């Protein structure tokens, strides 16, 4: 399996309001969202999902499910780095 290394810029107008609205499991009462943190730190897909699932754990129906999802993405990222660094 080959590794995808090319990053292409995502063109989004962030001034436009989100059409789906802020979900209650992402509402932190602050002026920023989890996605803003993920963008600010330029996290890749797996690392962004790790942050997302840990942040929302306990705010949706199944806390354990969100933590297991975060664990799955962490394991995927570790495996990716292991393959990449061989």
Full pLDDT tens readout for the chain, 86 residues? 455 555 555 444 555 555 555 666 666 677 778 888 999 999 999 999 999 999 999 988 899 999 999 999 999 999 999 999 99
pLDDT of residue 79: 97
Tell me if 70 sits within 8 A of 50, measured CB to CB. Answer: yes
Rg (CA), the chain: 15
Phi and psi angles of residue 63, each rounded to the nearest 5 degrees, phi first: -60, -45
Tell me if 53 sits within 8 A of 59, measured CB to CB. Answer: no
Sign of CA dihedral 43, 2, 5, 78: positive
pLDDT of residue 30: 72
pLDDT of residue 1: 46
Domain ranges of the chain: 24-84
pLDDT of residue 33: 84
pLDDT of residue 32: 77
């Amino acid at each position: 399996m080959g590794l995808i290394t090319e990053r292409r810029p995502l063109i989004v107008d962030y001034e436009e309001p989100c059409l789906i609205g802020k979900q209650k499991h992402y509402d932190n009462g602050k002026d920023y969202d989890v996605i803003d943190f993920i963008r600010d730190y330029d996290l890749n897909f797996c690392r962004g999902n790790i942050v997302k699932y840990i942040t929302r754990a306990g705010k949706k129906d199944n806390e354990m499910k969100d933590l297991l999802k975060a664990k799955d993405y962490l394991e995927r990222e570790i495996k990716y780095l292991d393959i990449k660094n061989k």
